[in-house]
């Protein structure tokens, strides 16, 4: 399972796998900040998400972390 952070426009721009999403303090801090901006978090199977760049005018552009893309592509 993975935790996905989704923009109010519906695009998934950040993903962290379990159990790391519950142990990583930086992930938890970033997730709280995004929730304050109107984002929402959902848990899904590893294969059921697509990382996208957010184009919502209310959000700052989020740069994709290439290392995360490589991690999930290899699993």
The answer to whether 11 and 58 have CB atoms below 8 angstroms apart is: no
Can you give the pTM of this predicted structure?
0.69
Q: Which DSSP helix (H) or strand (E) runs through 28? A: helix 25-36
Question: In the chain, which residue ranges form alpha helices assigned H by DSSP?
Answer: 20-23, 25-36, 66-73
User: What average pLDDT does this structure show over 6-24?
Assistant: 89
Q: Please give the pLDDT value at position 48.
A: 75
% of the chain with per-residue pLDDT over 70: 76
User: What average pLDDT does this structure show over 8-37?
Assistant: 90
37-59 pLDDT tens trace: 889 999 988 777 888 887 777 66
Q: Is residue 33 over pLDDT 70?
A: yes
């Amino acid at each position: 399972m993975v935790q996905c952070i989704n923009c109010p426009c519906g695009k998934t721009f950040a993903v962290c796998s379990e159990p790391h999403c519950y142990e990583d303090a930086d992930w938890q801090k970033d997730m709280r900040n995004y929730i304050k901006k109107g984002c929402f978090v959902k848990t899904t199977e590893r294969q059921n998400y697509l990382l996208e760049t957010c184009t919502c005018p209310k959000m700052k552009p989020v740069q994709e972390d290439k290392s995360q893309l490589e991690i999930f592509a290899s699993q």
